[in-house]
Chains A and B, each alone.
Chain A
Amino acid sequence: MSASTTPGYEAFSEELGFLLSSTPPPFIYIQSFEALRTTFTVVDALLHDLSRRPTGVDQPSIHCATVDAASCFTPRLFYEGVIHSLIDWIPEWEDGCSIWMPEESTTVRWNENLDTFVHGLVSAQAYLRLRLSQTNSEKRKGKEPDTEVGRNQNVRLVIVIERAEKLKEDHPELLVPLTRLAELARIDLCVIFISQVGWEDVRPPFGASPDPYFVDVPSLTKENISKLLVTNYPSYASPNDNLLETPYHPALASLYPHFITMLCDVCYPFTHNPDELQYIAAARWPGFVKPLIDEYKQALHERRQEDNEVDLDSELPQINVSEDLRIRLIRYFNASFTTALETLLPRQSNAADWASANVPPDNLFSMARPDTGYQQQQPSAQEALAATSSQAGMRSLPRMSKFLLIASFLASTNPAKSDLRMFGRGLDEKKHRRRGARSSGKTKSGVASKIPQRLLGPIAFPLDRILAILGALLEENDVETRLVAREFVVPGEYTDMEIGRVGVYAAITELTSLGLMHRTSPADRLDGPPMFKAAISYDDALALAKELDIALNDLLWDPV
C-alpha cells in the first residue's frame, strides 16, 4: 500500500513527503499516540517511495535508515544499525560477519563512539554518492558521459529512529548529538524521531537540543480504521486456491468490510489501535466464515454425488453472501466479539488458541436455532480465561504459601497498631474490636474522609510482622489439619514451631520471586528485618481466604 493512500494518513504523508523531498528540517519529531506501528509502516512506505523517485541536480537522492531504539541496547548496535541500513549492507557469515568498511580507510572503526560514527556517516554518504554516479553512468552508457552531474549529485540521508523514548532510558548521552546530527556531520541529513510519547518527555535538560519540527499523527477515526483494516485483507490467496483451506479466499472478500464494520462497532470504544483490532479480526474471521465454508463443502459434496464425472474446475459452486445470510452471521457472532476483546486485549490467550477454542459448530445454518448457539460455547472460553486468571494460578500453591499470601495482604492493609486488637485473643475471647464502620460519605464538613488503605495501595511491613500474623492465622484456622504432635503441650507452641520453619522462609522468597509479594528493602541490607509489600488484590485474597475457610472481612481493620 502506498503511503499516501493509507486512510487517515493522507495529510501526514503529504506534509512529510513534501518536507523530505524539498528542504527538510534537520530534526523532525513525529508523535503517534495510538497507532504507532501503522505510523512506522506509513513512514517506511513513504521513504521507500521517495528513495525510488527519479533524481536530478535539484532533486537529491534520498537514502534512509530505520532503527528501532528499543532493540539497540548498546550504542554500537545503534551505529551499526544506522549505517548498515543506509547502505543496505547485510553481513554474511562467510565473510566473518564483517561490518561495512569505507573503501578509503580500513583502519578507522566507525562503530566505536559518536565521533567515529559521524565520520562513518560522511563516508557512507560519499560511498552512496559514488554508487549513485556509477549507476547513473551505467544508465547513460552510450550517451555522452556526464560525470560532473553524478559526482555533485546531492545525497540526502534520512535516519528514522523508532521508539525514540527508549533512547532517553538506555542511551541518554546519545540524545543531544542525535538531535544535532546534521550540524555535527555537516551533510544533508535529517533525523526523524517517532515515538508514542511527546517531545517534552524525551527532551534533554538545559535546552541542549534544538526544538524539532513537530508532526503529530491525528488519531484515527472509526471509519479510517475500518478502511485501513479492510485494505489489509490478505492477498496471498488466489481465486484458484481451494476455498476449503483458505479463509482469506477472494470469494469471501466481499463479506470482510461488513465483518470489520461490526468489529469496529463493538471494539472501537475500548481500543483505537488498528493492530489490536486486526489481531481480534484475525482470531475471529476463520470462525466467522466457517458456516459459509461448511455450506460450500456440503454443496460440493452434493454436486459430486450427483455427478461423479463433473469437472471440478469449471463447475464449482459459488458462494453467495446474501443480505439475509450476513445478518444471520452477524447476529450469531456479535456476542463473541466482546469475549474476544476481553480475552485478547490483555493477552490472556493468543489469537490462534482463541480461534481454535471458539470455532462455531459444524453446519451452523442447518441447526434448528443457530442464533442462540453462541451462548453454548461460552463456557469453554470462560474456562480458558479462568485457566490463566490469577486466582486459578494461586489455587495450586502449597497451603502454607496461601496462608502467607493472606497474611501479607492483611499486613499491607491493616495498620500495624491494630494488630493486637485484630489478632490478639484475650482470656474472655472477646470479639475483635474493629474500627467502627462509618457511614459512607458523611464526614464532618471541612474534614477530608479517610480513604481506606485498600484503595491507597499496600503498605510495607517487616518480616516479623507477617510471621506474627501468619501465626495468628494458623492458630485460628489450621489447627485441625495438622499432624498430631504430642511433644507440644503449651498452647501455641506448635504454631510457634510452624511459623519458624525453613519451609516458611523459603515460601516467602519464592512468593517474592513470583511477584506475589514485593521486597521493598534491598537484598544486600543486613541491618534490620527485610520489608515486604503484598502484591495480590482484595479479590485474590478473598478467594484464597474462602478456600482456607478464613473470615477475611473479620480480620480487616477497614472492612469492605
Chain B
Amino acid sequence: MDEDCNKTSFCIPFDPPEIQIDVPSSPRNALPNSPFSERDLHDGPQLRFEAYRTAWEKCMTRITGIVQELQRSTLDAVVKEVKASYMKTLPALPHPELPIISVVNPALGENLMENICAALESPSNDVTDNEILTSSVIHLRPADFQTISAGMRGIVSGFVDKDPDTEQIKRRASTSLANYDIGTLEAWHRFRSHSQGNIRKPTLCVVLHDFEQIDPDVMQNVFYTCSKASPQLPLIFILVMSSPLTNFINLAYPRSILCRLRIRHFAAPSGPTILQEIWTKTFFDISFDPDVMFGPPLLEYLQDYFNRHNASVDAILTILQLAHLKHFSLEPLRLFVKHTPANTLSQPSAFVDALRVRLRLASKTREKNSMDVDEQDFRAPEDLITAVDKSRTEFHNHARNIRIAFGIIERIQVILERHGHKGLGWSGEKGSSSAPLEAILDILRDRSGRDVKHLVKLTRRLNAHELEDIIDELNTYFFNMPSHVRVQEQETRSHLTLLRSQIPRVDDEDADTENIQALSQRFSDWFSEYMNIKLVPIEEGRLWDIWYTGRTSVVSEILNPSVRASIIAGLLRPYEFQNESSIRSSPITKALWQLPDTSILFKRYLDSSKMINVYDWFESFKSVLDLQRIHLQEAEVSTRSSSPRKKGRSGNRAGKGKQKEPAPMSEEEEERWKTFVHARFIRALHELDYLGLLKHTGRKADHVLRTVFEIDDDGDDGDQLRGPD
C-alpha cells in the first residue's frame, strides 16, 4: 500500500485474526438465562426447558389434531377425484384432456399434501369395481423443472425407478430411448399393465410442489407432451399451490395449453376461520387443558399477523412456539408449570425465598379479601410444594370455568342466530368471522360484561321454542363434558333439567305465556349469576403468572422485523447489538469517536442536507478520526502511567475545550495517516452504499443523494462528540 499512493484501488485480502471465540458451553437442552438469574436455580434453564418441552408438545399435538380435522374434507375430495380421474370422462370431447388437480392450500401447510399422498398410495378398500384403485405418486419441485428435458426426465425416471416390481432391464444409452422420452414411460406402463393383468392399473400421479415457482414456459411444454400421451398413460398432475389465488393457472398459462387440460380446483380451508378454530379448540375447549394460557396481546398480534401478512398454520405454530419459549425463559418460577419437583425446594436458595415471598404476599392479599385463610409462613418445603400444587389446580379450575362460560355464551349465540336473532352480532354484515375471537379477547381482558348483559337481556324474552332449544343445547354441552368436569357441574345440570321439565309442551297452543316468561326470567337470572361466578379474571389467582402470560407484550420484531429500521438502529447504536442480554435498563451511550467507521459516517450523513457533498463529508469524517486518534494515543499513554483515571479526565476536558492537535507528525507519517483515513472513508462509504443508503444521481458532481431522512435519534451528536464523562 505504501509503495504507490496513486493506485486507484487496493486489494485488501480478508485475513481474519485467529480469535478464540469463547462460546459459553451451554448445554443444548437449556433455555437462555432468565433476566432474574439471581433468583434462579443453577439448573433452572434445563428444568425450564424440560417444562417448556412438555407444555409445547402437548399444545402442538392438539393443534396438529385440529389441523388434520380441518384437512379432512379437502383430503377426501382430492383422493376421490384422483381415483375417478380416468373413469368418468365426458363423451364426445374433441380430444382427450389431461386431468389436472390444483390444490390451493395457503394455510394448512405441507402436511396436507403428505396426507393426501399417503391416502393415494394406500390400496383402496373399495374393491367392488375393478377399476383404477391405487396410484403411484411422485413428487417434483421447481428445481426439477429447470429445462423441459430435466422435467420430463424427472417424471419418467420418477415412476420407473420407484416401481419395485419392474426388473431393471439393461438399457444402453445409445440404442435405447432417451431417459426423458415419454415413450420410455409408455413402454414401462404397457409392460406393467400387461404383466399385472388388466385388473389393477395404477394411475400415475405427479405432485408438483410450489407450482407457482415453476417456469410456465417449461411447464407448458411438459403438459403438452404429457397430454399427447394422456389416455393411454393415466397421468394425473396435482398442483400444490400455497398462494390463495385460485385462478393462478388461468393467469399464467396460455389458452392453447389450457385447452388440453381438465383442471379441477380444490381449495383447502383458509382465512380467519383457521385461526379461530385453532384458538378456540386449543385454549377454549372444555375437553382440553393447555399447560400455559396466553393473554390478549398474543391473540391480538396473531390476528393481526394472520390477516395482514401470512395466513398459515405454520405462522400460528411458530408464533405460539416462540411465545411458549419466551414464557419459560423469563421467570424462574415457571418450571412449576406441570410438576413441582421436590428437590428444587429442599435446599434453601434465592429461588425458594422468592417463591416464599410470593406465596406470603398472595396469602396476605387473600386474607384482606376474606378472613378464612390462615396466614402461613411456608417454612417447610412440603408446605411450598403443597401450595404450588394447590395453585396449579386452582389455576386450571379457574381457566376451565372461563372455558365453560365461553362455551355457554357461544352456544346461546348459535341458538339465537338459528332462531333469527342477531344476538351478539357475530355473523352479519358487520360481524366478521373473527367475532368469537373478539369475545374471547373481551373475556380475557375482563370486559365481557357488556356481552353478558346483552345476552341476559335477550334471554329474558325467549319464547318456549327458543328456551327449549337453548336449554337442550346446554344440557348436551354439559353432558358431553369430560366426566371430572361434569361431576363439578352437577348442580347446574339439575337446575337446567328442572327448568326444562317446567316448559310446557310446544304443541300446546294455549300455553301460558306468562309462565314461559317467568321461566325465561329464571333462566336469564341463572345465566347472569352463573357467568358472575365463572368469569373471574385469571390474574386474581395465586401465582397466576406461572401458567398465564397475562398482558406481556409479544416480541413482534423477532417474527417480522423491519429491515430498514434494524439497519438504521444498528448504525446508530452499534454497541446495543453486542450484548447478549436483551433487557437493559438504560441505553449504552458512546461518544461519536468511539463508534465504528460506518456509524461515524452515517451520523455525519444524518446531519447533512438532501444532497451530500462527498468532500465535505470526508472532511467531517476525518475530523472525527483525528479526534479518535488523540483519544487512542491518550489511552495508550494512560495505560502506561499509574493513574489512568486522572489522565482520562484531563483528556476529556481538553477535548471539550479546544480541540487538542495530534502530536506533531512527520511528513511521511502525515501522508500515511491521510491515506489511512481515505481508505477507511471509502470503505465506510461503500458499506453505506451497499446498504442502500446512498443514491448516485450524477446530477451534481461529487454529490450523492440521501435516502434516509428524519431519523428520530434522541442522542445529540454535539454532546457525544465530547465523549462520556
Listed in ascending order, the chain A residues whose CB lies under 8 Å from chain B are 37, 68, 70-71, 73-74, 76-77, 80, 90-99, 101, 109, 232-234, 236, 247-248, 274-275, 278-279, 281-283, 285-286, 346-348, 350-353, 355, 387-390, 392-394, 396-400, 464, 482-483, 489-490, 493, 496-498, 500-503, 505-507, 510, 513-516, 529
Given the interface pairs A71-B225, A234-B92, A501-B561, the reply to whether A347 lies near B255 with Cβ below 8 Å is yes
B171 CB–A CB distance under 8 Å = yes
The answer to whether A353 and B190 touch (CB under 8 A), given A37-B95, A285-B92, is: no
- Which residues from chain B contact A90 at a C-beta distance below 8 Å? 187
User: B263 near A350 (CB under 8 angstroms)?
Assistant: yes
Name the contact of B562 in the complex, choosing from A351, A489, A497 (C-beta under 8 A): A497
Contact A397 B93 (CB under 8 A): no
CB distance from B308 to the nearest CB of A (A): 5
Q: Which residue of B has the minimal Cβ distance to A400?
A: B308
Stretch of B173-181, B423-431, B495-503, B679-687 with 4 or more beta carbons under 8 angstroms from chain A: B173-181
A414 to B89, alpha carbons, bound, how many Å? 49
B707 near A464 (CB under 8 angstroms)? Answer: yes
Instruction: Tell whether, in the assembled complex, residue A98 and residue B247 are in contact, meaning their CB atoms are under 8 Å apart.
Output: no
Other contacts beyond A283-B90, A352-B88: 16, CB < 8 A: A68-B228, A92-B190, A94-B191, A109-B175, A236-B91, A275-B94, A282-B94, A286-B90, A347-B258, A347-B263, A390-B251, A396-B106, A482-B304, A490-B710, A490-B712, A515-B251
Give B223 Cβ to nearest chain A Cβ, in Å. Answer: 10
Determine whether B213 belongs to the interface, using a CB cutoff of 8 Å to chain A.
Answer: yes
Query: Contacts A96-B170, A347-B258, A392-B246 given: A101-B181 contact, CB under 8 Å?
Result: no
- Inter-chain CA distance A482–B252, complex, in Å, is 34
20 contacts between A and B (CB under 8 A): A73-B221, A96-B176, A97-B169, A97-B171, A97-B187, A99-B175, A275-B95, A282-B94, A285-B92, A347-B258, A347-B263, A350-B97, A388-B250, A393-B247, A483-B304, A496-B565, A501-B562, A503-B305, A503-B308, A515-B252
CA distance A275 to B259 in the complex (A): 10
Q: Which residues of chain A are within 8 angstroms of B265 by Cβ–Cβ distance?
A: 387-388
Whether, in the assembled complex, B183 has its beta carbon less than 8 Å from a beta carbon of chain A, the answer is yes
How far is the CB of A65 from the nearest CB of chain B, in Å?
Answer: 14
Contact B174 A109 (CB under 8 A): yes
| Neighbouring B residues of A101 by C-beta, 8 Å | 175
Q: Are A503 and B309 in contact (CB under 8 A)?
A: yes
Give the chain A neighbours of B245 by CB distance below 8 A: 393-394, 396-397, 514, 516
Partner of A505, one of B89, B92, B225, B563: B563
Pairwise interchain contact B262-A350, C-beta atoms closer than 8 A: yes
Q: Are A92 and B187 in contact (CB under 8 A)?
A: yes
When distances are taken between beta carbons in the complex, the residues of chain A under 8 Å from B263 are 347, 350
* Docked-complex contact A247 and B191, CB < 8 angstroms: no
A151–B58 alpha-carbon span in the complex (Å): 84
Tell yes or no: B532 within 8 A of A by CB: no
| Interface residue? B224 (CB, 8 A) | yes
Bound: A101/B188 CA distance, A: 20
Question: Within the assembled complex, what's the spacing in Å between the Cα atoms of A279 and B271?
Answer: 36
Closest residue of chain A to B142 (Cβ to Cβ) is A513
How would residues 239 to 250 of chain B score, 1 for a CB under 8 Å from any chain A CB and 0 otherwise?
000011111101
CB distance from B636 to the nearest CB of A (A): 41
Minimal beta-carbon separation of A443 from chain B (angstroms): 34
- Check: B264 CB closer than 8 A to any chain A CB: yes
A285 to B94, CA, bound (A): 14
The answer to whether A248 and B90 touch across the interface, beta carbons within 8 angstroms, is no
A351 touches which of B93, B181, B248, B305 (Cβ 8 Å): B93
Residues 175 to 203 of chain B near chain A (Cβ within 8 Å):
175-178, 180-184, 187-188, 190-192
CB of B218 to closest CB in A, whole Å: 10
Complex CA–CA separation, A278 to B92 (angstroms): 8
Bits for B293-323, please: 1 = Cβ < 8 Å to A, else 0: 0000000110011011111000000000000
Q: Is B642 an interface residue (CB 8 A)?
A: no
Q: What CA separation (Å) do A94 and B175 show in the bound complex?
A: 14
Q: Tell me the complex Cα distance, A72–B250, Å.
A: 25
A531 shortest CB reach to chain B, Å:
15
Complex alpha-carbon distance, A74 and B180, angstroms: 10
B408 interface hit (Cβ, 8 Å) = no
Docked-complex contact A282 and B565, CB < 8 angstroms: no
Are B225 and A73 touching (Cβ within 8 A)? yes
Number of A-B contacts (CB under 8 A): 205
Task: State in angstroms the CA–CA spacing of A275 and B96 once bound together.
Answer: 12
Indicate whether B270 reaches chain A with its CB closer than 8 angstroms: yes
The answer to whether the Cβ of B450 comes within 8 Å of any Cβ in the partner chain is: no
CA of A489 to CA of B564, assembled, Å? 18
Question: Which of B270, B309, B712 meets A400, CB within 8 Å?
Answer: B309
Q: Does B8 contact A (CB under 8 A)?
A: no
The answer for the CA separation of A166 and B142 in the assembled complex, in Å, is 24
Q: Which of B209-243 contact A (CB under 8 A)?
A: 212-213, 221, 224-225, 228, 243
Q: Verify if B578 is at the interface (C-beta below 8 Å from A).
A: no
Q: Which single residue of chain B is at the shortest CB-CB distance from A354?
A: B90
The 4 closest A-B pairs by CB, nearest first: A93-B191, A500-B564, A396-B244, A503-B309
User: Are A71 and B91 in contact, with the CB atoms below 8 A?
Assistant: no
- Quick one: which of A37, A236, A503 contacts B94, CB cutoff 8 A? A37
On chain B, the residues within 8 Å of A99 by CB distance are: 175-177
CB-CB under 8 A for A497 and B247, given A73-B148, A282-B93: no
Contact across chains for B181 and A393 when beta carbons are under 8 A apart: no
A interface footprint on B558-580 (CB within 8 Å = 1, 0 otherwise): 00111111000000000000000
> In the complex, are the beta carbons of A77 and B191 less than 8 A apart?
no
B172 contacts partner chain A, Cβ-Cβ < 8 Å: yes
Q: Is the CB of A502 within 8 A of B560?
A: yes
Contact with A along B277-306 (1 / 0, CB 8 A): 000000000000000000000001100110
- The chain B residue sitting closest to A349, CB to CB, is B263
Whose C-beta in chain A lies nearest to the C-beta of B176?
A97
B620 proximal to A (CB < 8 A): no
Contact of B259 with A347 in the complex, beta carbons under 8 Å: yes
Q: Specify which chain B residues have a CB less than 8 angstroms from the CB of A97 in the assembled complex.
A: 169, 171, 176-177, 183-184, 187
B149 within 8 A of A: yes
Complex CA gap A90/B188 in Å reads 12
For A501, the chain B residues whose CB sits under 8 A away are: 309, 560-563
Q: Which residues of A contact B562 (CB under 8 A)?
A: 497-498, 500-502
Cβ-defined contact, B175 with A355, below 8 A: no
Residue of B nearest to A350 (CB): B262
In the complex, what's the smallest C-beta–C-beta distance from B220 to chain A, in angstroms? 10
Complex interface: chain B residues within 8 A of A68 (CB): 228
Q: Which residues of B contact A502 (CB under 8 A)?
A: 560-563
* Contact flag A398-B712 (CB < 8 Å), given A352-B89, A389-B247: no
> A91's contact among B177, B308, B310, by CB below 8 Å, is which?
B177
Given contacts A350-B263, A352-B262, A497-B562, contact A282 B90 (CB under 8 A): yes
- In the complex, the answer to whether B309 meets A74 with C-beta atoms within 8 Å is no
Point out which of A348, A392, A398, A507 has the most chain B C-beta atoms below 10 A from its C-beta: A398
| Distance in Å: Cβ of B571 to nearest Cβ of chain A | 14
Q: Mark B666-706, 1 if CB is under 8 A from A, else 0.
A: 00000000000000000000000000100000000000000
